[in-house]
Amino acid sequence: MKILEKIKLKEILIFLCVISLFYLSSYLQLIPLKFLNWDIKNISTSQAIILMTFSNLCLTIIYIIFYYNSLKKDLKTFLNNLMLNLITALIYWIVGIILMFACNLIISLINGGNIAGNEQSVRNMISVIPSLMLVNAGILAPFNEEIIFRKSLGDIFNNKWLFVFFSFLLFGGAHVIGNIKSIIDILYIVPYGLLGASFALAYKKTDTIFTSFTMHMVHNTLAVVLLILVGAV
């Protein structure tokens, strides 16, 4: 009963709307498909990346409009304590990436050296259009995911640890749900979730979404740049 008292119905409904937009945003790709006269049944990887960029950008604009006042307040909070917030972001990111790396290593040993399906998919797309994937993975995806799994989800809970748990579960789940081919693939919820939990803790610690967004953006950007430079894609 005490847990239920800490959950807000209005914020739950908003979260459901926000996450529904996320999963339905792919339908926005029908707009450029119509104007470009591309055959939806024969979409190349490069075309798929362009369509994904379009839908992600549209989603980002929608989220900015919807959360404009709140984002404006968060940005002010972030800039007023910039150095402290950046240090906090760095500390939580280092902890999160160490835990993520350790879990990935264990799962990889169990899985015969294979990587997560989500990561393999991203690598394949980076090899086709690196610059566009840098925008997608480095800016658009982190912003949209922080709005959903930190800001909107965080508004639901007064209890910090409930928020961190659900951020861990939903963020991790979102990164594996479309790439589950075996039971082992489900285990990747843990490393992704641990990184999401570190983002959630940083958000709660600084009370501004721009702290978690910064660390998320830096994490993804470094990962994409590293893959490009070492030619691992």
Low-confidence ranges of the chain (pLDDT < 70): 1-7, 231-233
Q: Tell me the pTM.
A: 0.92
Q: How many CB atoms lie within 10 A of CB 81?
A: 15
User: Using H for helix, E for strand and C for coil, what is the string for 201-232?
Assistant: HHHHHHCCHHHHHHHHHHHHHHHHHHHHHHCC
Q: Residue 53's closest CA among 128, 132, 131?
A: 132
Amino acid in position 139: I
Distance CA 143, CA 74 (A): 13
What's residue 6's pLDDT? 53
Q: How many CB atoms lie within 10 A of CB 103?
A: 19
Q: Taking CA 219 as the corner, what is the angle to CA 148 and CA 110, rounded to the nearest 5 degrees?
A: 90
Distance CA 175, CA 219 (A): 15
What's residue 233's pLDDT? 43
What's residue 41's pLDDT? 85
What's residue 232's pLDDT? 47
